[in-house]
Chain A
Amino acid sequence: MMMPPPAMPAAFQVEKPVPGPGMGDFSYVGIDAILEQMRRKAMKQGFELNIMVVGQSGLGKSTLMNTLFKSKVSRKSVQATSQEKIPKTIDIKSVSHDIEEKGVRMKLTVIDTPGFGDQINNENCWQPIMKFINAQYEQYLQEEININRKKRIPDSRVHCCIYFIPPTGHCLRPLDVEFMRRLSKVVNIVPVIAKADTLTLEERDFFKQKIREELRANGIDVYPQKEFDEDAEDRMINDKIREMIPFAVVGSDQEYQVNGRRLLGRKTKWGTIEVENIAHCEFAYLRDLLIRTHMENIKDITSSIHYEVYRVRRLNENNTAIAHEGEDTHWGD
């Protein structure tokens, strides 16, 4: 939708921004009060977060979600399934929760993908997931181009996709590579090594290194993506994170008594694995990354980069569709 840019009437003179003289003095204007105003507004509006978990069944996805958010957020807890049957095709199920902490309200949506990687022939298993993610972008786009828009467009776009890598200890499987390669272009992927308590520390380090190499070799950019680092500080912090991914996690929603404290953990005959102990597993790092420090950044990248890429492609597609009527356009090659 090309409109000719309006001509600026000669009556408007806009002068270049002048670095104003420093404000100091002793009088206080109160500009920094805007931070407080923003905080208030954010608290009032609440936040939205949509996380997708992808991985073969039995890798502990639901447990990890429950551990992350310290409550029963996973699909299994919501739906009373009499038997857990592995579905014939990939299902995409999403469950939403309203949670609140210290006055901050959040609508958390966990999107589960049972059936992924469970069939005998797993070719194109990424397709339904790709379709779902694109459908969310499409829905947002349609809302955005309405004439009468809602005051706040409900955001159902997938902000983050946690991919569970089975702890083989060797290297990535073709399924993992294929999935991550395709999806890293449309969504933020955070790969984790599931059930990391089956690996010793040396095995874990070796595995991680192998994985990082393979990701690099295949040109897969997982979160935090190198190209979206904003400044030197960002890069420094993100480089440290990139050294550590994928996080080796263990999930648990059971509490045990350890050293007089009640901690989340897994109790085995040879010891109790403390989930939040960074000496045992890297769950705490994952939690901090996802929730405490980078959540806003993840949402930002989704809305200003991934969504914009989709939008450009979609709008251009319409233009070319006119030129080549009837041609088949392919999505996400």
Chain B
Amino acid sequence: MTTSDIAQGPFQVYPQSVPQSVSVKKGTGQDKNARPLSLSGHVGFDSLPHQLVNKSTCQGFCFNILCIGETGIGKSTLMDTLFNTNFENFESSHFEPKVKLRAQTYDLQESNVRLKLTIVNTVGFGDQMNKQESYQHVVDYIDTQFESYLQEELKIKRSLHNYHDSRIHACLYFIAPSGHSLKSLDLVTMKKLDSKVNIIPVIAKADTISKSELHKFKIKIMSELVSNGVQIYQFPTDDETVSKINTAMNGILPFAVVGSSEEVKIGNKMVKARQYPWGVVQVENENHCDFVKLREMLICVNMEDLREQTHTRHYELYRRCKLEEMGFTDTNPESKPVSLQETYEAKRHEFLGDLQRREEEMRQMFVQRVKEKETELKEAERELQGKFEQLKRLHSEEKSKLDEKRRSLEDEINTFSKKKAATELLQGQSFNTNANLKKDKDRKKSPEMEAKDVNLTCDEATNQNHNCCFRNL
């Protein structure tokens, strides 16, 4: 709503033409229970498209282009030329280990239309020695954008009209101008992408091919695409305003383009061109290349259709596959319609049940392990106990042995000391008796004997203590 809408009162009354009864079109695919009606005057809802457009203009538009092509094939230059600006680009190296995707978003404005343009470039595409994984990164990127849109759509509290749509609306596939045919990398990549994105193949650096070669090249490319079942984007031909031009353009695919951000003076105008010693290739000259046609088709005529196809065909396909993969269906085995909620509930129960079961399992396992460990430990304990007992036994055996020995030793000592004592006693006694005997003998015996005896006894006595002598005396 703009201030210019305030004319009389708060509304702008749209110019009222003479009321005419408008012919009624029998509903083309309309509801059967809606009856066509003729109006007897000007109602004014013909301003609806205008209102719709106004609203969209306020919101701004969003367009995302993916450029796939080898390094150095001219993707960035073409984007610059297409949108007539100088996007900040820098040359990429040829030594990327794997394909990366670099997305840059720009805000463009032309008259009162604001466009949020996102250009996604493949960096390092076709540079690797082994190109088997090249297309996978691109496919993953596209899927990621679909996924985040799907996430947003499935949220409970969502804001779809504020959502920055990052899904790829158009994919420009740059074909190297070899003049012969498509490379196998091209075919494989395009085959993988044709159900996910609108593919528009372009022949890059078309100024290296002559006109006749170009014609043959285009035919070869299209036939190869068809024979390999690659579905490239067809410009829509159902709307009569644009069907003629679109059909014509469909026959000129793929577009042979030349990009240039440099300007050359031709006549008295500066035009975008590439200057060679043998001539100047003018980008916007339709005789030189198909750049103008590409711009026309991509932006001026079919931008909205590209966005719509992305949303209604590619995104819906992705969504359907994703949800089916997760196990959701619209009809259960009895072919009664099942709501998403019911399926979700069922899945949730299943999942919870599963979770519980697994928890139980784990618990059982845990208990079992504990038991096992316990028995193990018990075994070890028992073993240890046994060993201990054994050692103890040994020890006590030894001890008792030692005790016995000690006892026997003691006994021996006792016996010995007894013997010793006895021997000493005996000796003492025997000496006394000897001494007494000696005395008697002395009285009886001759003095010779006495002398002998005395000598003996004296000898003995001298051998012994003085006792006997003293005793005798």
Q: How distant is the Cα of A241 from the Cα of B87 in the complex, in angstroms?
A: 45
Q: Judging by beta carbons under 8 Å apart, are B43 and A11 in contact?
A: no
Q: Which of B53, B148, B312, B328 contacts A39 (CB 8 A)?
A: B53
Asked if A33 lies at the interface with its beta carbon under 8 angstroms from chain B, I say yes
Q: Which of A3, A106, A241 contacts B45 (CB 8 A)?
A: A106
The smallest beta-carbon distance between A155 and chain B, in angstroms, is 12
Q: Judging by beta carbons under 8 Å apart, are B40 and A293 in contact?
A: no
Q: Judging by beta carbons under 8 Å apart, are A20 and B106 in contact?
A: yes
Q: How distant is the Cα of A5 from the Cα of B242 in the complex, in angstroms?
A: 41
Q: Judging by beta carbons under 8 Å apart, are A20 and B87 in contact?
A: yes
**A-facing residues in B97-148 (Cβ within 8 Å):** 98-113, 115-117, 137, 140-141, 144, 147-148
Q: Judging by beta carbons under 8 Å apart, are A145 and B11 in contact?
A: no
Q: How large is the interface on B (under 10, 10 to 19, 20 to 34, 35 or more residues)?
A: 35 or more
Interface-lining segment among B179-187, B204-212, B338-346, B376-384: B338-346
Q: How distant is the Cα of A32 from the Cα of B60 in the complex, in angstroms?
A: 11
Q: Which of B30, B55, B116, B344 contacts A107 (CB 8 A)?
A: B30
Q: How distant is the Cα of A297 from the Cα of B1 in the complex, in angstroms?
A: 10
Chain A contacts for B38, CB-based, 8 A: 71, 99
Q: Judging by beta carbons under 8 Å apart, are A17 and B105 in contact?
A: yes
Asked if A233 lies at the interface with its beta carbon under 8 angstroms from chain B, I say yes
Asked if A123 lies at the interface with its beta carbon under 8 angstroms from chain B, I say no
Q: Judging by beta carbons under 8 Å apart, are B339 and A145 in contact?
A: yes
The smallest beta-carbon distance between B92 and chain A, in angstroms, is 12
Asked if B277 lies at the interface with its beta carbon under 8 angstroms from chain A, I say no
Chain B contacts for A330, CB-based, 8 A: none
Q: How distant is the Cα of A78 from the Cα of B24 in the complex, in angstroms?
A: 18
Known A-B contacts A103-B46, A147-B323, A237-B5; the reply to A296 vs B109 at CB < 8 A is no
Chain B contacts for A98, CB-based, 8 A: 24-25, 27, 30-31, 34-37
Q: Judging by beta carbons under 8 Å apart, are A18 and B88 in contact?
A: yes
Q: Judging by beta carbons under 8 Å apart, are A11 and B137 in contact?
A: yes
Nearest 7 A-B pairs (CB), nearest first? A37-B304, A96-B34, A30-B300, A296-B51, A17-B105, A240-B10, A288-B11
Asked if A81 lies at the interface with its beta carbon under 8 angstroms from chain B, I say no
A sample of 18 cross-chain residue pairs with beta-carbon separation below 8 angstroms, ordered by A number, consists of A6-B148, A11-B100, A12-B100, A17-B105, A30-B110, A31-B110, A31-B303, A35-B53, A35-B56, A97-B34, A100-B23, A101-B42, A146-B340, A149-B319, A288-B44, A291-B45, A293-B5, A318-B345
Give the most central of B37, B41, B55, B339: most A CB within 10 Å: B37
Q: Which of B44, B98, B106, B111 contacts A11 (CB 8 A)?
A: B98
Q: Which of A3, A19, A147, A311 contacts B330 (CB 8 A)?
A: A147
Interface-lining segment among B69-77, B150-158, B247-255, B362-370: B150-158
Asked if A202 lies at the interface with its beta carbon under 8 angstroms from chain B, I say no
The smallest beta-carbon distance between A305 and chain B, in angstroms, is 10
Known A-B contacts A288-B11, A315-B156; the reply to A37 vs B34 at CB < 8 A is no
- B-side residues, CB < 8 A to A, are 1-3, 5-6, 9-14, 22-25, 27, 30-31, 33-58, 61, 82-88, 98-113, 115-117, 137, 140-141, 144, 147-148, 151, 154, 156-158, 160-161, 239, 241-242, 272, 295-296, 299-305, 308, 312, 316, 319-320, 323-324, 328-330, 339-341, 344-345, 348
**B-facing residues in A181-204 (Cβ within 8 Å):** none
- A-side residues, CB < 8 A to B, are 1, 3, 5-6, 8-9, 11-23, 25, 27-35, 37-44, 46-47, 49, 68-73, 78, 96-107, 109, 142, 145-149, 151, 154, 230, 233-234, 236-237, 240-241, 244, 264, 278, 284-285, 287-289, 291-297, 300, 304, 308, 311-312, 315-316, 318, 322
Chain A contacts for B101, CB-based, 8 A: 11-12
Q: Judging by beta carbons under 8 Å apart, are B43 and A68 in contact?
A: yes
Q: Which of A32, A97, A234, A287 contacts B111 (CB 8 A)?
A: A32
Chain A contacts for B33, CB-based, 8 A: 96
Q: How distant is the Cα of A288 from the Cα of B241 in the complex, in angstroms?
A: 30
Chain B contacts for A145, CB-based, 8 A: 339-341
Chain A contacts for B25, CB-based, 8 A: 98, 100, 105
Q: Which of B102, B147, B295 contacts A29 (CB 8 A)?
A: B295
Q: How distant is the Cα of A17 from the Cα of B88 in the complex, in angstroms?
A: 12
Q: How distant is the Cα of A235 from the Cα of B247 in the complex, in angstroms?
A: 46
Q: Judging by beta carbons under 8 Å apart, are A316 and B304 in contact?
A: no
Q: Judging by beta carbons under 8 Å apart, are A293 and B113 in contact?
A: no
Q: Is the interface of A mostly helix, strand, loop or mixed?
A: mixed
Chain A contacts for B53, CB-based, 8 A: 35, 38-39, 42
Chain A contacts for B10, CB-based, 8 A: 237, 240-241, 244, 285
Q: Which of B44, B86, B296 contacts A30 (CB 8 A)?
A: B296
Chain A contacts for B140, CB-based, 8 A: 9
Known A-B contacts A6-B147, A23-B85, A145-B340; the reply to A32 vs B41 at CB < 8 A is no
Q: Which of B11, B41, B104, B160 contacts A285 (CB 8 A)?
A: B11
Q: Judging by beta carbons under 8 Å apart, are A101 and B49 in contact?
A: no
Closest to B164 in A: A17
The smallest beta-carbon distance between A138 and chain B, in angstroms, is 10
Closest to A42 in B: B49
Q: Judging by beta carbons under 8 Å apart, are A23 and B330 in contact?
A: no
Q: Judging by beta carbons under 8 Å apart, are B9 and A278 in contact?
A: yes
Give the most central of A30, A142, A241, A304: most B CB within 10 Å: A30
Q: Judging by beta carbons under 8 Å apart, are A13 and B103 in contact?
A: yes
The smallest beta-carbon distance between B321 and chain A, in angstroms, is 10
Chain B contacts for A12, CB-based, 8 A: 100-101, 103, 141, 144
Q: How distant is the Cα of A68 from the Cα of B37 in the complex, in angstroms?
A: 14
Known A-B contacts A292-B14, A292-B47; the reply to A73 vs B85 at CB < 8 A is no
Q: Which of B34, B102, B109 contacts A13 (CB 8 A)?
A: B102
The smallest beta-carbon distance between A77 and chain B, in angstroms, is 10
Known A-B contacts A240-B10, A304-B161; the reply to A32 vs B156 at CB < 8 A is no
Q: Judging by beta carbons under 8 Å apart, are B48 and A35 in contact?
A: no
Closest to B107 in A: A19
Closest to A43 in B: B49
The smallest beta-carbon distance between A40 and chain B, in angstroms, is 6
Q: How distant is the Cα of A53 from the Cα of B324 in the complex, in angstroms?
A: 42
Q: How distant is the Cα of A19 from the Cα of B60 in the complex, in angstroms?
A: 14
Q: Judging by beta carbons under 8 Å apart, are B43 and A69 in contact?
A: yes
Q: Judging by beta carbons under 8 Å apart, are A70 and B330 in contact?
A: no
Q: How distant is the Cα of A72 from the Cα of B339 in the complex, in angstroms?
A: 39
Q: Which of B3, B11, B109, B344 contacts A22 (CB 8 A)?
A: B109
Q: Judging by beta carbons under 8 Å apart, are B58 and A70 in contact?
A: no
The smallest beta-carbon distance between A266 and chain B, in angstroms, is 17
